[in-house]
Amino acid sequence: MRLSQRRSEHLRRAAKIIGDPLKVRAGGFDGRIRPEPACDDAETGIGAWSREAFNRAMRRGIGRDGEHLYPAFPYDHFTHVSDGELDALYAWLMTRPPISGRAPPTQLNGVLGGGIWSTPAYFNGHIYYGQDNGALKSFSISAAQVVLPAGSSSSVTFGFPGTAPSVSANGTANGIVWAHQNANPAVLYAFDANDVSKPLYSSSQAANGRDQFGAGNKFITPVIADGKVFVGAASGVAVFGLLK
C-alpha cells in the first residue's frame, strides 16, 4: 500500500517526525520541545527499527529499547490509524536518505525556577520534575504540548540536588510518585500521581523511627520492582513494601 504525498505529509507532521520543534508558551513561560529525526540512519534515526518497533512507538509512545519517547510525543493521536497506513508510512521513511545528527536539547525557559539534576518521570499524560531546592512538580500533556504552569506541586521542598522521581502504578490506575529526600536521616515520600500536592506516605511518619534508613545521598532514584520500592542510601539499600 502507498500513501499519497499529501496524506504522508499530514501524518508526518501530526507525528512530529520531521524535526519541527513544538512551541510551548503559557503562563509567562516559553520554550521548545524538539523531536529526534526520523530518518533512515541506524545510529541517530530509526534505520535499525523494526516495523513492530515503529508501530509501537506510533501507537504507545514507547521507543525501540522500551524508553518513553519525548513526553509530548502525540502517540494518542495514532491509536486508530490503520495498520496499512502505519506500514506504508514506515516503508516510506525507510526510503529517505540517512541523515546523522542529534536534535538540539529540549528548552523550557523559566518553568522550574531551579536547577535540574535528574531525569523527569512520566505517567499517564503527566511529567514530574524535582528541581533543586524546590517542590516536586507535575505538568500535564495536552494536544502534544506541555501545559503550563504546573498542575500541582508538593508542599515538601527538596534540597540539593532536588529529587529524582519514579512512578509505580497498576496500568493507568493507582499511580504513585516516589521521591527521595537527601537528608540525614533520608526520607522516602509517596505522592498521588494525579495530584502531587497530596502526600500518601513518608518514611518519617511512623513512630520510633520504624521506617528510617540512614543518611541520604545525592542523585538517588527510587526503583520499583515486584511490589517493593528500593532506595539507595549512603551505606546501603533500603527496601520498602507492605507490612505483613
Considering only CA atoms, which of 112, 124, 125, 137 is closest in space to residue 196?
A: 137
In a shared domain, residues 115 and 208: yes
pLDDT at 60 (0 to 100): 80
17 and 127, same domain (yes or no): no
**Residue 21 pLDDT more than 80?**
no
Q: Is there a single domain that holds both residue 59 and residue 132?
A: no
Residue 73 counted as domain residue: yes
123 shares a domain with 47: no
Q: Mean per-residue pLDDT for 94-119?
A: 69
Least confident of 19-33, 137-151, 207-221: 19-33
| pLDDT value of residue 129 | 92
Identify the weakest region by mean pLDDT among 45-54, 96-105, 181-190, 210-219.
Answer: 96-105
Does 70 share its domain with 116? no
- pTM assigned to the model: 0.59
Residues 62 and 127 both lie in one domain: no
Return the higher-pLDDT residue of 120 and 70. 120
The answer to whether residue 100 sits within a structural domain is no
- Whether residue 36 is found in the same domain as residue 123: no
Asked, for residue 101, whether it belongs to a domain, the answer is: no
Whether residue 29 is found in the same domain as residue 143 = no
What average pLDDT score do residues 81-110 get?
Answer: 72
Instruction: Find the mean pLDDT for residues 209-218.
Output: 92
pLDDT beyond 50 at 25: no
User: Hey, which bits of the chain come out as E strands?
Assistant: 22-26, 29-33, 107-109, 121-123, 126-130, 134-142, 145-146, 152-158, 166-170, 173-181, 187-192, 195-202, 223-225, 228-233, 236-240
State residue 77's pLDDT score.
66
Structural domain including 40 reads: 5-93
What total number of domains does the chain contain? 2
